[in-house]
Structure 1
């Protein structure tokens, strides 16, 4: 008889999961997750209809948000809310989500760019063709000064849906019944041209509440950079006469969380330490500890470390504080500048602090123009999250022409936003807590 490893793992979870005792606001289950739904309140918007995005995915989840265009950052998303099946009202997640900078230093030290604040990223919003947005809608973006239209309007923002494969699969001990769901995403993206590069800024809103943020670089290699005579370049083309100069793309995102509609969110850092077995017949032990981040912080990802942003006001139906976990993506961190030396920053909100480097806003004398200067010991009451993901681009023959998209990004994943998997099938909706075998 085959052992049901799923059942064993779940029934034994209380023995070794020390993080459960650390989570803020943890209580015993407050009742079934399938309470009778109340009448849904009317959805209110803080933007006109032309600047609204509302998509109900086929799995039942609805995402809503507003958007606008900024001269430096390009497309900015506002008032992002998530309403999965079983929730009577939208759950506010983010007040604002935007790019915070694309910093591009070249390996030979002769060129360094801040593409958002120095090189017209926002004005480089390009028009999209219909087949670039399959099954979706392309929205008109007002871009003052654009070279891509005569009237300052660009059909440059695509909203569409995509399948992503399995959202879950559960078979248990028998092949007689398989629970599975194919996940669906809302995809929001635009393309900005800066020099020879074209940056694809992509936001994926999954039906399980996860948001993934990516920037993809494509376009073409600069024809003026085939002169890396200092030994740092990679030979491109026939022989080795032309060497493309290597460089980095350090992409920053700026996230202003407003979980459950409040800016007063908490930051927590979790670290796990694995210790050797204590005895001959025992396995290694793993202890997870929580650190409350109460003051501004510049931090680095490491093995078994993660952060979450916790709602100060909202709880799910189990009585647990809602939160979003920050899930870093692969990165090649650039150590050449102070502001690129950390993977994540938490700063206290200041309206003027908008860009991670070469910040154009006036923050006063001595305030500094980069995110590392803003971590100066302030207490966090309205934290802003900055995420830095780097990519070292050493060109290859395959980058010619056009250059395949190379992606960099990260995700934020719901942690206790709902009492159960928001896509749970009705037959399993009573299994909140210790489950029976399906």
Structure 2
């Protein structure tokens, strides 16, 4: 049993949960958590300077956003815009992005935790040492636990830049002869915070690439819970000398909640793509691979399959080639846990509802007749006019000797890749700017 959840026992009263629901709307600076942003042209983030992040990367791309902190979700990023070279104004991408749950069930069936909503994940924000944010800025965050009027200042949000290696490489060999090497090293804006929940420390990071890609990851580190070294239950992996101690295996099922606002509108559409390979017919050189598009017009609980993917398409914006802007969901490695209804699917698309903020154990007060407290209960066939995207990525942690001590970071997450956001690679060198489409 986890007995050291940030110094608090697991039990919570109904009053505490009600206060937490109210606290979900309380903000440290960027505006209410539950109000659906109005559609508006992309512009500078609507928050004060203390809560604004703006970074122009060395390749010319600028990312802008607001941040705020909540007692449950922790860090929330809002009003996220992307302005690559050649674009005269920022392109709105997301109204908001946040963690929506970290669900931790143990293999022996003894324990199960909702780290955000039962243990106030955000309240466990940790101070960062100077060496943890190399070349960047550590911002002070005012943390207020909802059962108290007390606040504490935490140096808990790092914004910095990181090199990621090649953005591209191409050896050009023109028909006229000669050759030229085009290569560019990529740069990312990195935003992250660390939250302690019992023995675990979670690194929540967002990486914003200069080519418009966004990576959302959670890394678990800290310590294995020593009270779970119990060989008597017959479960777990031997830790230490012999088999006297075994660490219980468990899952970390991490959910993210994404409220898109492409080009300033919340009325994007969802599309699903599936490809099917058919064996080659007589006389045919290779098998065929046919891709079909399905417009997702109703709420959906979706599952990843081979050659299946989804994209969120702008309702209003197009790139310079006249193609609708969109962002594609790119899943990471996933060990899906099927023990609960809300963990059985990889992605959920739901119609926006201000009370639907957490994927499980949702504590907010919802209108009469609203179904359930988990995301699987909210998929009821409603028409998707303002879709919210929920992504579920699982990790089955079977402990090993190398997990002590401290435990190396194990990561889980996914990416959002721009698809037709710009007419060409936003980092294209000037001398290749006319190489768009068919080359005659």
Fold shared by both chains (TM-score > 0.5): yes
Q: For residues 354 and 142 of structure 2, what CA distance do their matches in structure 1 show?
A: 23
Residue pair 2:101, 2:359 contacting (<8 A) in 1 also? yes
Q: Provide the alpha-carbon RMSD of the alignment.
A: 1.5
Q: For residues 426 and 420 of structure 2, what CA distance do their matches in structure 1 show?
A: 11
Aligned match of 1:79: 79
**Deviations along 1:96-121, whole A, 9 cap, x unmatched?**
00000000000111100000000121
Report 1:141-160 matches (<5 A).
141-145=141-145, 152-160=152-160
Residue 433 (structure 1) aligned to one of 413, 437, 440: 437
Q: For residues 424 and 44 of structure 1, what CA distance do their matches in structure 2 show?
A: 25
Shift of 1:279: 2.5
Aligned match of 2:384: 380
Gaps spanning 5+ residues in structure 2: where? 1-40
Aligned match of 1:350: 353
* Corresponding position: 1:51 with 2:55: no
Residue 179 (structure 1) aligned to one of 179, 182, 200: 182
Q: For residues 231 and 56 of structure 1, what CA distance do their matches in structure 2 show?
A: 54
Residue pair 2:42, 2:90 contacting (<8 A) in 1 also? no
Provide the secondary structure at the position in 2 that maps to 1:274: strand
Q: 1:271 to 1:42 in 2, by over 3 A?
A: closer
Aligned match of 2:403: 399
Q: For residues 187 and 42 of structure 1, what CA distance do their matches in structure 2 show?
A: 22
**Deviations along 1:301-343, whole A, 9 cap, x unmatched?**
0000000000000000000000000001110000100000000
Aligned match of 1:361: 364
Q: For residues 44 and 301 of structure 1, what CA distance do their matches in structure 2 show?
A: 36
Q: For residues 373 and 319 of structure 1, what CA distance do their matches in structure 2 show?
A: 38
Residue 267 (structure 2) aligned to one of 260, 264, 267: 264
Report 1:25-424 matches (<5 A).
43-145=43-145, 152-173=152-173, 176-366=179-369, 367-424=371-428
Q: For residues 98 and 318 of structure 1, what CA distance do their matches in structure 2 show?
A: 32
Residue pair 1:145, 1:152 contacting (<8 A) in 2 also? no
Provide the secondary structure at the position in 2 that maps to 1:306: strand
Residue pair 1:185, 1:204 contacting (<8 A) in 2 also? yes
TM-score (norm 1): 0.88
Aligned match of 2:24: none
Q: For residues 281 and 383 of structure 1, what CA distance do their matches in structure 2 show?
A: 42
**Deviations along 1:183-216, whole A, 9 cap, x unmatched?**
0000000000000000000000000000000000
**Deviations along 1:90-143, whole A, 9 cap, x unmatched?**
000000000000000001111000000001210000000111000000011110
Q: For residues 221 and 400 of structure 1, what CA distance do their matches in structure 2 show?
A: 7
Provide the secondary structure at the position in 2 that maps to 1:171: strand
Residue pair 2:42, 2:81 contacting (<8 A) in 1 also? no
Provide the secondary structure at the position in 1 that maps to 2:167: strand
Provide the secondary structure at the position in 1 that maps to 2:117: helix
Residue pair 2:45, 2:80 contacting (<8 A) in 1 also? no
Q: For residues 262 and 128 of structure 1, what CA distance do their matches in structure 2 show?
A: 36
Provide the secondary structure at the position in 2 that maps to 1:229: helix
Q: 1:285 to 1:107 in 2, by over 3 A?
A: same
TM-score (norm 2): 0.87
Q: For residues 369 and 343 of structure 1, what CA distance do their matches in structure 2 show?
A: 18
**Deviations along 1:354-373, whole A, 9 cap, x unmatched?**
00000010123452000000
Flag as ranges the 4+ runs of structure 1 deviating above 4 A.
none
Residue pair 1:66, 1:79 contacting (<8 A) in 2 also? yes
Shift of 1:151: 5.5
Q: For residues 235 and 181 of structure 2, what CA distance do their matches in structure 1 show?
A: 54
Q: For residues 47 and 272 of structure 1, what CA distance do their matches in structure 2 show?
A: 43
Aligned match of 2:6: none
Q: For this pair of structures, how many residues does the alignment match?
A: 393
Shift of 1:434: 1.3
Q: For residues 228 and 115 of structure 1, what CA distance do their matches in structure 2 show?
A: 25
